[in-house]
Structure 1
Amino acid sequence: MDGLLTTNTLIAYGIMGILALLAMVQLILAVRHDRIVTAQGPAATLEALESQIDVKQNTINDLEAELEKRREAIAVVTDLQAEVDGLRRQKEELLAEWESLRERRDEVAAVRQETEAVVIERQQLESEIAPLREKYLAIKEKVERAEELLARNDALKREYEEISGQVDDLRDKKRELEEAEERVSRLEARAKDLETDNARLEGRKSSHETELGELNARVASEREVLAQTQTELGRVGAEVAAQALDLRRIAGEIETLKETRGTLDARLAYLKAEIARNEGRSVNGETGEADPLRELKETPPVITAMRSWDPAPLQNEADAIKRVERRLRAKGLDYPSRTLRAFHTAMKVNETTQMAVLAGISGTGKSQLPRQYAAGMGIGFLQVPVQPRWDSPQDLMGFYNYIEGKFRPTDMARALWAMDELNNDDAEQDRMMMILLDEMNLARVEYYFSDFLSRLESRPRPSDVGDANERKDAEIELEIPNMERAPRIFPGYNLLFAGTMNEDESTQSLSDKVVDRANILRFAAPKKIKDGQADGEAEPTKALSQETWNRWVRSSASVEGDTRVAGRVEEMLDLMRDFKRPFGHRLGRAIMAYAANYPEVEGGRGVDDALADQVEMRLLPKLRGVEVDMAGPQFSKLKTFVERDLGDDALAQAIDESMTLAEATGQFVWSGVTR
């Protein structure tokens, strides 16, 4: 707009200049004309006049040329005037448009004011950021120093690991020597037992020597074999003392002697039985037939204690869990509620998962949790301490003593018989019992427990246990000779099984069969030591009925239609397939059963917590030995699944920590999560 005004002004000034120039030309012509008239006089000559005329003529020509130029300029001015008129009209239109855009100008002015305010605010923020930047630089410098210290710490760790490796080697050698000494001691004890049995056989044989000459000869022959065995045992003991470093060879010879001794025991027992039959007496010297199951039928202390409890009133599952929580506090025990719910759910799913294993370092409360849980719930509790020498199912259930003619049951066998409502008419009715295998990995679990675990897995559905043909593969047949029908024990669903395992140099690792059939709760090292202060008084134990327990148990079919559960189980299957550790239908159904039986939690996180528990208890133990470097992307996907989909930050952090610990060996070992 300002440029348009300047153009109009210049045009007006140009026109005025042209008009003024024309007036000056007319004035000059008039003056010259007057001068010509005045100059004419009598003295003028013709030549002078002609000369003047030529000059004037040139001047006129110049003026005419100049006038022509002025005319052209006037024409230009006329065109400019027309253009000015057009511009004036455009100016008026622009002025009208300018007026119409006043609101937009106001908006622009407001925006300009806001921009200025933002600039001022930015300047203020920069002034505030300046000291923060200084703090950041100081912190960065501290972090760099910390990284240097970490590098030095890593070097010290590597040196410590080298020394630890040497110490472990020495410890292994020491343990081997101690095991050799222990085996020698056991051999000596067994030799003494053989001598005692032999003396007893000789005394009984001498009383029947007249009538049983042939049998005496056979006994004498067996005695000679026994003497040879004892001589061999003494020789082996001497060799063990002289050659302590050759442990494997000695162990092999000891196992051979054990087999020989077992064979001799069987032969002697057979001979004794023959003597007893010929006399018309029982093998224990009493007249008539003795009940070989008499000791099995004796009431174990755990059953006696259960009979003294009052029946528990009808209660829902949530109240029962709260009752357990109160008992734990009264005993000065502090377990996270998440851990208690996980153990409770692991007990409820004993149809699809045969037992729960509590693993971790010593002193983390693994044995107290099942003991106090059972007391709080009103469930009978039997603790079975596992011995390092256990190597067969007989160590768990008992054996038949051929010399005495009796079945020697363990407390666990008595308890199973007392709880078997199908084979024992005098069994406890409508009661529950928990059996805890304490420190179950002191011996090889697959040696003494594998057969029993297979029996548990072969149990029919609860609705079919009444069918003898359906449950025959699950029943335990007691090896008792000379009985028309061998007694059988059915480990029913009124029995709950748990186990504890320490992780140190004296224990064995669990086999894949046990890992695949158990919920493994791993107790990590505590972050701080609790004071163990008791809170309140423990409530008296009241017997929980099996009927009430069965009402709490839900089938996995109850969550099969839940797309959230099914989808996440499928994702867990894909993750384990990527690890080259796939699982089958049995484990998939067990995971869904766990989700179905997880107690309700405030906030609606029941399903997420249940599936996160199954990642912790079923999947991570199966990843033992996976190369961390090779499976880095798979571990990242697993961590993302736990953190994003299941919302368990503590578990995701524990996976990270286990991967960090695995950097030393390169192989993943699940170390548990602290809740």
Structure 2
Amino acid sequence: MTTDDERPAEHRETTEDAAARTVEMERLAGELERKRVELDQREVSVSLLENDALEREADLAKRDAALAERAADLVKRDADLVARDTDLVKRDADLVTRDATLAERAADLLKREADVGERETVANGGFAQQRVELAAELGKQRDDTQRDLLTWQVTRRADADAELDAHIQRRLADLAAEVDAERANARARIADERATSEQELAAEKERHKLLAQAVEKKDGELSAKEDHLAGKDQELEFRESHLQERWETVEDEAERRTAERVQSFAAREQQVVAETERLRSELRAQWDLVSAFDDLSRQLGGRPAEVVLEDLRVKAAEIARLKEALAKHPAPEIASRLKDLEKANSHLVGELKKTQDSRAKDEEKLRVAQDLRLQVSEVDAENRSLTRINERLTAEATEATSELSRLRAAYQGRQEAEGRTKEIERARFDVDAVGVQPHHPEGGIDEVAWLDAISGRCVSHGLRFPERILRSFHTALKTAEWSPLTVLAGVSGTGKSELPRLYSHFGGIVFDHISVQPNWDSQEAMLGFFNSIDNRFDAQPLLRFLAQTQKKRTEDYPGLRDNVALVLLDEMNLAHPELYFAEFLSTLELRRGYKGNKGPSLAVKIGAGLPEYQLPLGRNVLWAGTMNQDETTKSLSDKVVDRSIIIHFPRPTTLERRKRQETLDESNRGVPLHRRTWEDWCVREVEFGDEIQPYKKFVENINAALATAGRAIGHRVWQSVEYYMANYPTVLAAQRSGDEDALGDAMHVAFEDQLVQKIMPKLRGIDTRGATRTDCLDRIESLVVSEGVGGRTFNLARDFKLANQLGYGQFIWQSANYLEGSAEAASESVPTAD
């Protein structure tokens, strides 16, 4: 039994292995066929793209023809205008004709006057008296007629001339205006259509160029894939031949074992069938015996054998009693009765014996039948067990196939993840572009001297920034633990983009310039996204740069982990920063909870079903942004303002010339700044004593005034202010020198910077009318302008007044006039293109 059970399992396992290999061969063949079909489809797609490009060129040609038709139409309309001018000339001729008609009517009146004269002559030939009277009357009539004629002529001519002139002038003006408007509209339409067509043509040409490049790239990829697939074909053919040989061997062995098992199962099946038929015949015989036993029971009145035996015992006792009585009292009736009873008893004993023998046989046959039934049940149970084993093996084979597919998919997923990770970590800059940073020398680099050197090199380059602006920008970057983002705000052309670029170049900081696009609506737009069409991750330059800044430098990879890096988000408010930079701000804030070089990571999704790429956000990466103040930009939300330091650039009062344009190259690049040097400059623990308390009290007084407007300054704002003051270069220099007067001056300047950069933006949107003006804004203005700290006020009167006036009823701080009154202020920056 055991050997028979094991042999089918071996046979099934071998069959399953052969089936799995067959399925694998079919899958590989199907995959090869699918890739061939995919290549054919891609070739068709490329052909369709080329046809689409040709159709677009034809469409452009049609558009050019349409423009030509429009130009011809405009020429025709100009001809119509010339015809209308001719019509006006004709109308002028009609007016001249009307003047001639009026002259004829005047001649007719003169003729009538001549007739009156003739009548006067006739009258003179008559009566003298009548002639005199007629002469007087005629003279009067002539005078009246001449006067009326003259008056009519003058009035009529004047009215006609005035009406004609006015009509001509109106008509000419209307026609001229209509002609000018039509010509202007036609020219504007032509210009717009021409510009649009030129733009569309340029865009189509650019798209066609990109399409041609993409087609060329796709051709290269297809060629590479064809070569790869050709190699795969050869490999598959070799594997197919090898698998075919193994399959034939396995198939022969499986057929042999299958034949043996079939013969074994056939013989056993015949035995089972014969045994079953024998058992069935015996069961039929036993059932016949049981039926006979039932008939006997019915003959016995349905009484069981025990009852019949009891009756026999009673009757035997009665017979014995009768025999004893007969022996004592013999009588013919008793003897007769005894004989009858003995005869009946003998008959019953015989029947009982037969019944007992028959019952014993029936019980034996019943036991045999039960044994046969048990054997049949065992056979059925064995068959069911074999069926379950077969089902279990089939399920295990299916599960093994699924597990193989899962493992293959996981392996492919790891390969895809490794490929996308490799794309992300592809270096943004090489070593020659950033330089190799040396270890900071013994004693470190003097921070103030380093800043002064940058300022001097900026002047040599042709740009001059206020010293307060440069120091404020530097200190804001040092306090990135509390305010991760430094925003440079102001009108366009004041050097907002140039300051970070020159600061990084002359200071030896790795710099990356990122232009924010208006359509940025998510973090993926800034870092990169999964391209499902090409099945790859498109890593943006910023993501590659951030990954490079967190990798060590090796012989094969220009890592920048020991460098200081600065990222500039230029014109960051073209889009809403809350959409694409909010998660960055929240994660950068978490750096305060880490020590040393450790820091938080940002999860970057690189594709469905693949683990996210963990992008470390180390302290060696600094963040800055520029913000134009015009109608094309978005305002910053409270979340961004609260986590930023906003530095306003002053509006130029005098414009400076720039006689030469200097280039930035390796010859004027500063010595690369080591991250440990930067960390040495950054103050992690505030060491102020009682000298900080007046400034803290001042902020608390401002907070009390803000409470009347429903606003408040949080702990984070004050902590950021305190750390800014502790990191201010002149404050640190005064602390090292022990000069208390210099320390007080430096702290006052640093706190004034923070009033403008951190406190005043918290007042944005407060109503400049009503109770909020008197209870809140006026109180804060009094604190800043009149009271100050320690008897020293702040030079913010003009800026505060402008903030109340320029916000259309709301407080908006967007100026930096306080720099003009500073002893450290320099002239404004040279206008540059941001």
Q: What range describes the TM-score normalised by the shorter chain of this pair? A: 0.5 to 0.7
Per the alignment, residue 797 of structure 2 pairs with 652
1:667 aligns with 2:810: yes
Q: How far 1:617 sits from its partner (Å)?
A: 0.8
Q: How far 1:594 sits from its partner (Å)?
A: 0.9
1:514–1:422 CA distance, 2 compared to 1 (3 A) = farther
1:542–1:312 CA distance, 2 compared to 1 (3 A) = farther
Q: Distance in 2 between matches of 1:449 and 1:370?
A: 19
2:653 corresponds, among 519, 527, 531, to 527
Q: Distance in 2 between matches of 1:606 and 1:329?
A: 24
Q: Summarize deviations over 1:141-188 as a string: whole Å, max 9, x none.
A: xxxxxxxxxxxxxxxxxxxxxxxxxxxxxxxxxxxxx9xx99xx99xx
1:544 corresponds, among 653, 673, 695, to 673
1:343 corresponds, among 465, 470, 473, to 473
Please state whether the residue corresponding to 1:293 is helix, strand or coil. Answer: helix
Q: Distance in 1 between matches of 2:675 and 2:417?
A: 38
The amino acid across from 2:569 in the alignment is L
Per the alignment, residue 322 of structure 2 pairs with none
The amino acid across from 2:814 in the alignment is S
2:759 corresponds, among 610, 616, 619, to 619
Q: Distance in 1 between matches of 2:754 and 2:430?
A: 32
State the structure with more CA Rg: 2
2:435 corresponds, among 302, 307, 328, to 307
1:622–1:444 CA distance, 2 compared to 1 (3 A) = same
1:293 aligns with 2:402: no
Q: Distance in 2 between matches of 1:302 and 1:636?
A: 56
Q: Distance in 2 between matches of 1:423 and 1:451?
A: 28
Q: Summarize deviations over 1:502-554 as a string: whole Å, max 9, x none.
A: 12121111111101100001123211112246799995411111111111111
1:537–1:485 CA distance, 2 compared to 1 (3 A) = closer
Q: Distance in 2 between matches of 1:282 and 1:303?
A: 36
Q: Distance in 2 between matches of 1:626 and 1:547?
A: 43
Q: Summarize deviations over 1:238-288 as a string: whole Å, max 9, x none.
A: xxxxxxxxxxxxxxxxxxxxxxxxxxxxxxxxxxxxxxx99x99999xx99
1:475 aligns with 2:601: yes
Per the alignment, residue 439 of structure 1 pairs with 571
The amino acid across from 2:582 in the alignment is S
Q: Distance in 1 between matches of 2:549 and 2:523?
A: 19
1:624–1:303 CA distance, 2 compared to 1 (3 A) = farther
Q: How far 1:655 sits from its partner (Å)?
A: 1.0
The amino acid across from 1:659 in the alignment is N
Please state whether the residue corresponding to 1:480 is helix, strand or coil. Answer: coil
1:641–1:599 CA distance, 2 compared to 1 (3 A) = farther
Kept after mapping to 2: 8 A contact 1:303/1:380: no
1:315–1:340 CA distance, 2 compared to 1 (3 A) = same
Per the alignment, residue 636 of structure 1 pairs with 778
1:648–1:502 CA distance, 2 compared to 1 (3 A) = farther
Alignment of 1:93-492 (within 5 A): 291-301=419-429, 304-308=432-436, 313=441, 314-421=444-551, 427-463=559-595, 466=598, 471=599, 474-481=600-607, 485-492=611-618
Q: Distance in 1 between matches of 2:411 and 2:530?
A: 13
Q: Summarize deviations over 1:611-632 as a string: whole Å, max 9, x none.
A: 1111101122222221112333
Per the alignment, residue 40 of structure 1 pairs with none
Q: Distance in 1 between matches of 2:533 and 2:684?
A: 49
Per the alignment, residue 272 of structure 1 pairs with none
Per the alignment, residue 366 of structure 2 pairs with none
Kept after mapping to 2: 8 A contact 1:439/1:502: yes
The amino acid across from 2:758 in the alignment is R
Please state whether the residue corresponding to 1:639 is helix, strand or coil. Answer: helix
1:628–1:387 CA distance, 2 compared to 1 (3 A) = same
Please state whether the residue corresponding to 2:698 is helix, strand or coil. Answer: helix
The amino acid across from 2:805 in the alignment is T
The amino acid across from 1:432 in the alignment is V
Q: Please tell me the root mean square deviation across aligned C-alpha atoms, in Å.
A: 4.2
Q: Summarize deviations over 1:422-465 as a string: whole Å, max 9, x none.
A: 99996423210000000001111111111111111222434165
Q: Summarize deviations over 1:385-421 as a string: whole Å, max 9, x none.
A: 0011111101111112234333221111111111125
The amino acid across from 2:684 in the alignment is S
- Name structure 2 gaps, 5 residues minimum: 1-195, 230-404, 735-741, 820-834
1:613–1:575 CA distance, 2 compared to 1 (3 A) = farther
Number of aligned pairs? 409
Q: Distance in 2 between matches of 1:377 and 1:572?
A: 37
1:306–1:620 CA distance, 2 compared to 1 (3 A) = same
Please state whether the residue corresponding to 2:469 is helix, strand or coil. Answer: helix
The amino acid across from 1:672 in the alignment is S
Please state whether the residue corresponding to 1:543 is helix, strand or coil. Answer: coil
Q: How far 1:576 sits from its partner (Å)?
A: 3.1
Q: Distance in 2 between matches of 1:312 and 1:376?
A: 17
Q: Distance in 1 between matches of 2:416 and 2:587?
A: 36
Q: Distance in 2 between matches of 1:451 and 1:638?
A: 34
Please state whether the residue corresponding to 2:465 is helix, strand or coil. Answer: coil
Q: Distance in 2 between matches of 1:340 and 1:637?
A: 31
Please state whether the residue corresponding to 1:595 is helix, strand or coil. Answer: helix
1:573 aligns with 2:699: no
* Larger displacement relative to structure 2 (362-371 or 372-381): 372-381
The amino acid across from 2:780 in the alignment is L
Percent of aligned pairs with the same residue?
Answer: 31
- Name structure 1 gaps, 5 residues minimum: 1-177, 209-276
1:329–1:282 CA distance, 2 compared to 1 (3 A) = farther
Kept after mapping to 2: 8 A contact 1:455/1:476: yes
The amino acid across from 2:806 in the alignment is L
Q: How far 1:648 sits from its partner (Å)?
A: 5.5
Kept after mapping to 2: 8 A contact 1:357/1:520: yes
Please state whether the residue corresponding to 1:294 is helix, strand or coil. Answer: helix
Kept after mapping to 1: 8 A contact 2:548/2:561: no
1:533–1:555 CA distance, 2 compared to 1 (3 A) = farther
Alignment of 1:533-612 (within 5 A): 539-555=668-684, 557-559=686-688, 562-600=692-730, 603-604=742-743, 605-612=745-752
Q: Distance in 2 between matches of 1:317 and 1:337?
A: 14
1:407–1:303 CA distance, 2 compared to 1 (3 A) = farther
Q: How far 1:578 sits from its partner (Å)?
A: 3.8
Q: How far 1:310 sits from its partner (Å)?
A: 5.8
Q: How far 1:590 sits from its partner (Å)?
A: 1.0
Q: Distance in 1 between matches of 2:762 and 2:492?
A: 22
Higher helix share: 2
Q: How far 1:315 sits from its partner (Å)?
A: 1.1
Kept after mapping to 2: 8 A contact 1:281/1:288: no
Kept after mapping to 1: 8 A contact 2:537/2:607: no
Kept after mapping to 1: 8 A contact 2:597/2:619: no
Please state whether the residue corresponding to 1:501 is helix, strand or coil. Answer: strand
Q: Distance in 2 between matches of 1:578 and 1:556?
A: 34
Q: How far 1:376 sits from its partner (Å)?
A: 2.5
Please state whether the residue corresponding to 1:463 is helix, strand or coil. Answer: coil
